[in-house]
Amino acid sequence: MRRYLPRTLAATCSAVALTALLAGAPAVAFADTEADALAELQAAVELEQSGAADLQEAVDAAEENPATETVEAAVSTGQAHGANLDALPSGTSVQYQFAKLQLELSQQCKDTALDKMTQIRDQQAQQLKLAELINELLPLASTARKTGEAQPVSDDLLRRLDELDIEYDDSIAQTKKASATELNVIISNVQNRQETLGDDIQQEMAYVQDFMGQYNSYLKNASSATANAQNTLAALARGTVDPSEDSLLMQSYRALVTEQAEQAEQARKALEEQLSAFLADPSPEAKQRLENEISRYHATLDAISSVAQSMANAERSLTTQRGTVATDSTGNLAPLALGGLGGVVIGAVGAYALIRRRGQTTAGAVTAATASNAEGE
């Protein structure tokens, strides 16, 4: 099921009391600096938006016809456009930070979607190799049936079977020959793998569309939040900003934290379920499904880490300028997000420990999913 941010989220932060943030700072200098920062942020958002529709169209085409060329086209389209977040100025207003966060979250979702598309492309390459195996095995099996004699199996063929985790009788590796029955079993195993790969690709396309939905939603929020920040800056110049509205943006942060925490819990449960299934049956198919959940889990970690960092910066900005934060309406939000991050990381570390005890190679994937985020605690 696709999950999107509430459409009212960006609207909730329609104005922030920048007057309070400017205590002791030259207003004109701030306005010029903030206007420049917002202009760069708007340009980055517009650059991202310029390729969003083409990317969605390319992903839709790949979902409808998941051929190698359509998947490759989607990956290329996604890589052709993209805002450089590292080049953006830091900005000083809380609303600028919130808008930049929305753009950052949109980029994370797009990157995850493109990673999935790349994975689909790799799976399609496997499908081609499987098709080549079948084309090679069918004549051998036919000859074995007609002659009633075992047929020679080359070392190269056995190597390719091993690379694709296709099971075959151990005696074949020893004698370098296979009977018609043994060859038919291998063919059946290859065909089963083809079918499984097809199912995996369909599932991963659903993941891609899920992340694309979130990407488009975050990008829309980034555009709205940037426009709101510019309106607030203009209101500041007119002296018409309402100081009581500074808590609205922090309430938006709270809504975002709540949603991210819910997604993290859903991702944790899904990963635990798939981990249990993998430990019960460590087949290549189960491993692939587990890695899919690890990928989703990792994306959730990245999002929660970004929200926590941005929220901490927002609270620090308010505290520096006002001496306090409106805790009556917002509470201590950064620890809430960081606490959610800690729980997710602990869950992933537990998954890693279980897999490692079973000696499964998927441990490396879980390590990658946790190591890059563990420092965030």
Enter the DSSP assignment of 178: E
Query: Do residues 237 and 18 make contact, with C-beta atoms less than 8 angstroms apart?
Result: no
Residue 5, helix vs strand vs coil: coil
Evaluate whether residue 302 is within a structural domain.
yes
Phi-psi label, residue 91: left if phi above 0, alpha if psi -120 to 50, beta otherwise:
left
Least confident span in 62-71, 306-315, 318-327, 367-376: 367-376
Evaluate whether residue 250 is within a structural domain.
yes
Q: Pick the residue with more confidence: 287 or 192? A: 192
Give 377's pLDDT tier (boundaries 50, 70, 90).
very low
Separation of alpha carbons 153 and 151, rounded Å: 6
For residue 26, pLDDT beyond 50: no
Q: Environment class of residue 367 by beta-carbon count within 10 Å: exposed (0-12), middle (13-18) or buried (19+)?
A: middle
Query: Do residues 232 and 282 make contact, with C-beta atoms less than 8 angstroms apart?
Result: no
For residue 309, give both structure tokens: 């960092």
Averaged confidence pLDDT in the chain: 76
pLDDT of residue 242: 58
pLDDT of residue 168: 92
Q: Which residues pair with 152 in a beta bridge?
A: 177
Query: Do residues 34 and 235 make contact, with C-beta atoms less than 8 angstroms apart?
Result: no
Q: Pick the residue with more confidence: 98 or 245? A: 98
For residue 182, give both structure tokens: 């043994």
pLDDT of residue 149: 94
Evaluate whether residue 203 is within a structural domain.
no
Give 281's pLDDT tier (boundaries 50, 70, 90).
confident
Evaluate whether residue 324 is within a structural domain.
yes
For residue 9, pLDDT beyond 80: no
pLDDT above 90 coverage of the chain, percent: 34
Q: Pick the residue with more confidence: 1 or 278? A: 278
Taking only the tens place, the pLDDT of each residue in 298-308 is: 888 888 888 88
Which residue range(s) make up the domain with 297? 246-377
H helical segments located in 239-362? 246-280, 284-322, 327-330, 333-357
Least confident span in 44-53, 173-182, 286-295: 286-295
Taking only the tens place, the pLDDT of each residue in 198-222 is: 888 888 898 899 999 999 999 999 9
269, 307, 363, 277 alpha-carbon torsion, rounded to 10°: 10
Q: Pick the residue with more confidence: 347 or 252? A: 252
Q: What is the mean pLDDT of residues 147-176?
A: 93
Most confident of 27-31, 237-241, 275-279, 353-357: 275-279
Evaluate whether residue 300 is within a structural domain.
yes
pLDDT above 70 coverage of the chain, percent: 72
Comparing CA positions, the residue from 177, 191, 174 lying closest to residue 143 is 177
Q: What is the mean pLDDT of residues 158-173?
A: 92
Q: What is the mean pLDDT of residues 119-143?
A: 93
Q: What is the mean pLDDT of residues 180-200?
A: 92
Give 262's pLDDT tier (boundaries 50, 70, 90).
confident
Predicted model pTM: 0.72
pLDDT of residue 194: 92
Q: What's the domain count of the chain?
A: 1
Q: Pick the residue with more confidence: 149 or 89? A: 149
